[in-house]
Amino acid sequence: MCNVTKDNITEAFIRYMGPDTDPRLREVMTSLVRHLHAFAREVSLTHDEWQQGIGFLEQCGAISDAERHEFVLLSDVLGLSSLVDMLHNRPEGTSSSVLGPFHISVAPPLAVGGDLRGDFDAPVLLIEGVVKDPEGNPIPGATLDIWQTAPNGLYSSQDPEQDTYSFHGLQTVGADGYYGFTTVRPVEYQVPTDGPIGAFFAATGRHAWRPSHLHFIAEAEGFRPLVTEVFAADDPYLDQDTVFGVREDLVMRYQAMPAGSFPEAGFALSGKVAEEYLRVAFDLTLVPA
């Protein structure tokens, strides 16, 4: 094409791709550039705005390292991570939700009935349920990788006061598919705002809060791994999660349990909790691979 114009540049881009380009890559790039060019035309993007956008992406790169993934956070706050999740969600299983940056790859084993609260001085939350298939059959041997915030709203990797594995555990369910453990009520918290995403929030009048939640990765042989999180029904940020992670089926309701009613056996804290506590049941349904 000897005369590239604002009207034919998109077709020129598509033509430039070589014949050996992987078909899926061709499909994705063709659509991406079509939408990118259409966006620039629609808003009549100026040089200054283009420069600002490039500068923003450079800042995301500059603050990122092996631990900090500002581009993932950008995808999260734009709703892209959640949209990709929902595109591949299977309605017969529990909904998936964002992984977030605070998962650690090898959590310590947490026996069924084990405790994550440790020495933290906060009311006990007992959470339990069954890992099952879409027909309701338990999935023996399924594993649950669990992580959450401490009562101060920080994950262990953000907080020098916590042990590396504080509020992280890996539970393997038995033949009945039952999982259960004690912990504390997770609390709402803000995603990191000390980088370019913080500036983006300020410029667009948005807050950085996520409703309180507990993360799970459920895995079992023959089933699709499930990355998800469960949310408290009474959380003030439930309908305004800044990373768009809330789905109706992921909302759970804590029951206030009276003093003296903690199970007498089966939990690491049995015999040690005389006071009121919170209890919630939440089953996880995995979809065959």
Q: Which is nearer to Fe ion, 100 or 169 (CB)?
A: 100
Write the binding mask 88 to 117 for ligand BEZ: x where contact by CB under 6 A, - elsewhere. ----------x-xxx---------------
In the complex, which residues of this chain contact Fe ion (CB under 5 A)?
100
186, HSE (Cβ side, Cα atoms, 13 Å):
28
- Interface with ligand BEZ, residue 195, by CB under 6 A: no
Size of the site for ligand BEZ (CB under 6 A): 9
Residues 39-78 that bind ligand BEZ (CB under 6 A): 73, 76
Q: Which is nearer to ligand BEZ, 59 or 158 (CB)?
A: 158
For residue 33, give the 3-state DSSP assignment.
helix
Closest CA to 73 of 159, 192, 210: 192
- By beta carbon distance, the residue nearest ligand BEZ is 100
- Interface with ligand BEZ, residue 217, by CB under 6 A: no
Q: Can you tell me which of 210, 223, 231, 273 binds ligand BEZ, judged by CB under 6 A?
A: 210
Q: Which is nearer to ligand BEZ, 112 or 191 (CB)?
A: 191
CA distance 160 to 242: 25
For residue 258, give the 3-state DSSP assignment.
coil
Residues 172-191 that bind ligand BEZ (CB under 6 A): 191
Q: What angle do CA 230, 165, 107 make, to 5 degrees?
A: 70
Phi, psi angles (nearest 5°) of residue 247: -125, 150
Least separation in angstroms between CB 259 and Fe ion: 31
Least separation in angstroms between CB 288 and ligand BEZ: 27
Binding-site partner at residue 85 among ligand BEZ, Fe ion, none, CB < 5 to 8 Å by type: none
164, HSE (Cβ side, Cα atoms, 13 Å):
5
CA distance 77 to 71: 10
- Interface with ligand BEZ, residue 214, by CB under 6 A: no
Burial class (CB in 10 A: 0-12, 13-18, 19+), 272: exposed
Residue 252, strand partner residues: 232
Residue 121, strand partner residues: none
Least separation in angstroms between CB 65 and ligand BEZ: 16
Q: Which is nearer to ligand BEZ, 79 or 101 (CB)?
A: 101
- Interface with ligand BEZ, residue 154, by CB under 6 A: no
Q: Which is nearer to ligand BEZ, 9 or 238 (CB)?
A: 238
Q: What angle, rounded to 10 degrees, do the helices at 47-63 and 70-77 form?
A: 130
Footprint of ligand BEZ on this chain (CB under 6 A)?
73, 76, 98, 100-102, 191, 210, 243
